[in-house]
Structures are given as structure tokens and as C-alpha cells.
Amino acid sequence: MRIVVGSDHAGYKLKEAIKKFLTERYIEVIDVGTHSEDSCDYPDYAAKAIETYRVEELDGGILICGTGIGMSIAANKHRGIRAALAYNPETAELCKRHNHANFLCLGGRTTDIDLALKIVDKWLNTSPEMGRHLRRINKITELEKRECR
């Protein structure tokens, strides 16, 4: 499995912990930054991670800012990206099973590291369900083809 990770300054520490967690489990991690706690802008790192996900044809991505909210808003502006802000293992499982979330967002200031790692583990180890869930995903994909109103 190959995963891209990205964060702003507020998500940097959690990103580093997630990188270690994934690497120890033999998951290939591509880190698009940021690489310090110096202030930066989360939309830039969402865009870099999504570009990498597409070009490298990765299995998914993890984005972290202070709350996970900015990253999820920014990531969901990109076509084909279903970014979900999960706050416990149950939402991590459901966002993959029901919403086919290809990006997981986390809050570095709102979710402690132990819980965040459980969320990551659950998201990675859950498969998307098809049937009615795929029908709903297809409706979201159709929305992306519309002109802005």
C-alpha cells in the first residue's frame, strides 16, 4: 500500500507520528510536507498531496491541519477527491465503507496521537462497500460534471 501524507504547521507533529506508524507497518509513505512548525497555508499542502496521489496513482492520502476542517474543505474542491474528517474509529470505518473516502483528514490540535493512530488504522483496514453506496458515490461524481450555479 502507498499513501501520501501532508499537513500544515498545526498538523506537523501528528503527521510525523502517522508517518512512523505507517512505515513500521511496511506501508510506503510519501510526505509532501510541511517539514516544520513554521506557519504555512493548508490549501497548498492539500493541493500537493492530491497532485502526488494522482501522478503516483497512490492508494490514498492523509491530510492534517489544526482541526482537519480546513484540509477537508480544501481537498474536497479537487475533482475526484472524497476527503473525510474522521474523529473516532467508527467514523473512520464508515467514511471508507459508505463514502469511499480516498483522503482522511485529521485535526492535529483536536485529536490526540493515540486516537489518531487508531483512526488511521481503521481507515486503512476498511474496504469500500458497493451496491447502494456506489450508487450514491456515482451521484456525487455526477455533481462534479456540472457547471457552477
Residue 9 vs residues 12, 39, 70, 115: alpha-carbon distances, Å: 5, 5, 13, 20
What DSSP state is assigned to residue 75?
Answer: H
DSSP string across 88-148: SHHHHHHHHHTT--SEEEEETTTS-HHHHHHHHHHHHT-----THHHHHHHHHHHHTTSPP
Query: Residue from 60, 66, 89, 128 that binds ligand RB5 (CB under 6 A)?
Result: 66
Q: Give the interface size with ligand RB5 as a residue count (CB under 6 A).
A: 8
For residue 8, state whether it binds ligand RB5 (rule: CB under 6 A).
yes
| Binding range to ligand RB5, per CB under 6 A, among 20-28, 62-70, 119-127, 136-144 | 62-70
| SS3 (DSSP) at 84 | strand
For residue 69, state whether it binds ligand RB5 (rule: CB under 6 A).
yes
- Catalytic status, residue 98: yes
For residue 52, state whether it binds ligand RB5 (rule: CB under 6 A).
no
Catalytic residue among 9, 40, 65, 78: 65
Q: At its nearest, how many Å lie between ligand RB5 and the CB of residue 127?
A: 29
Q: At its nearest, how many Å lie between ligand RB5 and the CB of residue 74?
A: 9
What DSSP state is assigned to residue 1?
Answer: -
Using CB under 6 A, list all residues that contact ligand RB5: 8, 10, 42, 65-67, 69-70
Positions marked catalytic: 65, 98
